[in-house]
A and B are shown apart, each in its own frame.
Chain A
Amino acid sequence: MTIPAPSATCVLLSGDEAIARGAFEAGVLVAASYPGTPATEVLEALVQYPEIEAEWSPNEKVALEVALGASLAGARALVSMKHVGLNVASDPLVTASYVGVRGGLVVVSADDPGMFSSQNEQDNRHYARLAKIPMLEPCDSQEAKEFTRSAFEISERFDTPVLLRITTRLAHSKSIVDLGERRERTPTGFVRDVAKTVMVPGHARRRHELVEARMNALAEWAESCSLNRIEEGDRGIGVICSGIAYEYVKEVQPKASILKLGLTHPLPSGLIREFAEGVDRLQVIEELDPYLEEQIRALGVRLSHERVSPRLGELSPTSVARLLETGKSAPRAPLPDLPPRPPVLCPGCGHRALLTVLKQLKVFVSGDIGCYTLGVQPPLETMDTCVCMGASLGVAFGVEKATGRSDNIVAVVGDSTFLHSGIAPLMDIVYNRGATTVIILDNETVAMTGHQDHPGTGRTAAGESTHRLPLDELVRAIGVRHVAVVDPYDMKQSKELIQAGLRRSEPTVIIARRRCVLLDREARRRARRIDVERCTGCGQCLTHGCPAIFDKTPEGERKKQVEIIAQLCVGCNVCGQLCPVGAIVEEPDSG
């Protein structure tokens, strides 16, 4: 059998990649982002197009401001971030709504229902209402591309930023996309118009009127725009849905009548009423909050169910079948008593070495967002708080203020997280005469999201060489007098530096610098092994949770039996420093 060659213009793209492709085709000139699952791959794909100026910004607020500036200079611009990133960028977002655009401005928010890699599962659809901007929700990669292009047209036609809201299952699912051509657009340049772009109260009051008028015009347009459509089917059951939920409904109830909403702010009230009148039973299927449901009920439209939006976690075809009462037999339960397999810090991770020292010191650890958050798990259990990017410093300082003690608490923050939003709280600690000990876990990359660059790496998103921000000079300039750089593999020195910091009545910053072990394969040393003659079976080497150390102690045996898995060991010798009898030695040279 011969098969036709696949068309070069039909490719399998993730939702993130499809958005990047849509931006490329729409002639986007400037793109900015801060890495965050599930949005990271949007910018990673954009940077592949030489026509686009794509940057990793220090944080999402800066990213949105850069994109807004590009828009005001007449270029099409896109900014992408994970849902919690939009909290950081919410300040410019809400006022950018008043300012409007010159070139199209699209804000991509990638939400994470189910929290695969996030600290909360907020529903960012609420931001569209808060900021009074239109919102689009695509259902697959092809739509993600098309909606991105539409979003730029809507942005320019209605003089507004547009929110393109996706979720993890859209961002990280791949489906076939038909590629189109790029249409180049030449930016007009910045045109002075202070009533539009200088938001002092007098101007902002006038702009707010225009925002309200714009939303009315959009609501009218929503009734007839092709982003929303009724798919007539069985009149017995009608379903209103958007985004990935639409695909689940089509999967489990293919015969239902469906009102598919692509534009979910503002809602087309006339179309909703018309659809409701044409069906016997009406249900809303949506993930997380009852965003559609509450607005539809507020129209006076009767739904055939009490609240069904589960609010918790993500939807699946299985759960949608249950919500729609398709009568499908309940699925089998998972097998009982399976051990969980949570993610862990890698063998040889510098974070593990430093967190092990903190465990020994029994201090309160104010933590932050990054791989090191995994230190909360047993056996390390060295993380006492984790809230949002950069929170570790302010929270530690608050505890210090409330307890009057700084000798039993440290703040732990990654290099990129510190640059994202740790600088301001460090200023606060110095300015308000704190004595906090701050440890910057500097692995010279944004590791958790797949090794992106940041201002401290000396490389741009495109891999070009640039100024490398020296963390030690930065914190000295803020006013921290006690600054030290240490290799976290040297646990003795790390411990001494932390103890000195805890004793001090002034702020201390310790930069624990060790390049991410996944990036630094040359730094691998010879694997370790257990000298069974010397090993007393105390189990100290099992207290830091290294995946390369295997506990093979038989059930009921008190004396530990351990083995180091040579293929996994990178020879960091953290376990060797934990062993009280010197029973962890180098593997003999295999030649």
Chain B
Amino acid sequence: MGELTNIAIAGVGGQGIILASDVLAQAAICAGYDVKKNEVHGMAQRGGAVVSEVRFGRRVRSPLIPDGEVDVLLALEMLEGLRHLHRLRPEGVVIADELRIRPAVRPPGAPGYPEDVTDQLRSLGHRAVLIPAAELARGAGNARAANTVLIGALSRHLELPEEAWQRSLRMCLRPSLLEVNVRAFGLGMQTQDI
């Protein structure tokens, strides 16, 4: 990775993308980095495609990641991973939940959900890590913590100290949800790359 670390988190509105990017951004702050992130609010959210980007390093300028400079693409849904795949660096990694959510509406003439979505995630030659995040989250006590499982998996690819992650989780999550999410994060951290 270069001077800056660039993470894009993509998914479907309602999946907890903003929370995931908050946890990552806060962990980077706890580790002493400058951080910028962007997110999508309003009309763009209602079950639509959503992306949030987090950048950290010594000094961050643009809150948007230039195309082709994403280090890790975290996809909470596989099709949404494909939508941003071209923005990865050649040596970048895509970490995706093995989840398919079909778009709720299919405008006339629009293509259907790509059946070969897992092959396509590898089609540009990037390393692809597929994780049954929702399943693991259910094991942690709440299927909705899939976002935190993926953040746990992401943590293995970043050089942020474990303590920064733990502190960030405590800062970003309501006490009633903390325990489940700490477990979900741990399960994500234990996943393998293949």
Given A176-B29, A317-B64, A321-B66, decide whether A341 and B44 contact each other with a Cβ distance below 8 A: no
Count how many chain A residues have C-beta atoms less than 8 Å from C-beta atoms of the other chain. 60
Q: Is the CB of A343 within 8 A of B36?
A: no
Q: A38-B42, A117-B44, A343-B13 are in contact. Are A317 and B66 (CB under 8 A)?
A: yes
Q: Is B123 an interface residue (CB 8 A)?
A: yes
Question: A40–B114 Cα gap in the complex (Å)?
Answer: 37
Residues 60-87 of B, flagged 1 when their CB comes within 8 A of A and 0 if not, give 1111111110000000000110110111
- Chain A residues positioned under 8 Å from B42 (CB to CB): 37-38, 40, 116-117, 448-450
Q: Does A339 contact B112, Cβ atoms closer than 8 Å?
A: yes
Report the Cα distance A345→B49, complex, angstroms: 14
Report yes or no: B67 in contact with A331, Cβ–Cβ below 8 A.
yes
State the main secondary structure of chain B at its contact with A.
loop
**Contact bitstring B81-102, A, C-beta under 8 A = 1, else 0:** 0110111000000000000001
Instruction: Check: A378 CB closer than 8 A to any chain B CB.
Output: yes
- Taking a contact as CB atoms under 8 Å apart, the answer to whether A338 and B83 are in contact is yes
In the complex, A477 has a CB within 8 A of chain B: no
> Nearest A residue to B29 by beta-carbon distance?
A6
Q: Interface code A343-356, partner B: CB below 8 Å = 1, 0 otherwise?
A: 11110000000000
Write out, one digit per residue, whether chain B residues 103-117 have a CB within 8 A of any chain A CB (1) or not (0): 111111011111000
Q: Which residue of B40, B102, B164 contacts A172 across the interface (Cβ within 8 Å)?
A: B40
B residues 145-162 near A (Cβ < 8 Å) are 161
**Do B49 and A3 touch across chains, with their CB atoms under 8 A apart?**
no
Instruction: Tell me, in angstroms, the Cα distance from A41 to B40 when the chains sit together.
Output: 13
| Measured CA separation A172–B113 after assembly (Å) | 30
How would you classify the secondary structure of chain A's contact residues: helix, strand, loop or mixed? loop
Residues A345 and B46 in contact in the complex (CB < 8 Å), given A6-B30, A332-B86, A340-B110 = yes
Chain A residues, Cβ within 8 Å of B45: 343
**Number of chain B residues whose Cβ lies closer than 8 Å to a Cβ of chain A:** 58
Give the residues in chain B near A40, CB-CB below 8 Å: 41-42
B64 near A117 (CB under 8 angstroms)?
no
* Docked-complex contact B43 and A448, CB < 8 angstroms: yes
- Against B, the Cβ 8 Å flags (1 = close, 0 = not) of A167-185 are 0010011111000000000
B139 within 8 A of A: no
Q: How far is the CA of A77 from the CA of B9 in the complex (A)?
A: 38
Cross-chain contact A247 with B62 (CB below 8 angstroms): yes
Given contacts A140-B36, A334-B86, contact A545 B79 (CB under 8 A): no
User: Within residues 83 to 132 of chain A, which ones have a CB less than 8 A from any CB in chain B?
Assistant: 116-117
Within 8 A of B (CB), among A438-488: 448-450
Q: Which B-chain residue is minimally distant from A4 (CB atoms)?
A: B32
Sample of 5 A–B contacts (CB below 8 Å): A117-B44, A176-B34, A331-B68, A342-B105, A343-B44
Give the interface of B toward A (CB within 8 A): 12-13, 25-26, 29-32, 34-49, 60-68, 79-80, 82-83, 85-87, 102-108, 110-114, 120, 123-124, 161, 163-164
Residues of A within 8 A of B (CB): 1-4, 6, 10, 12, 37-38, 40-41, 116-117, 140, 169, 172-176, 244, 247-248, 250-252, 254, 316-318, 321, 329, 331-335, 337-346, 371, 374, 377-379, 448-450, 545-547, 550, 555
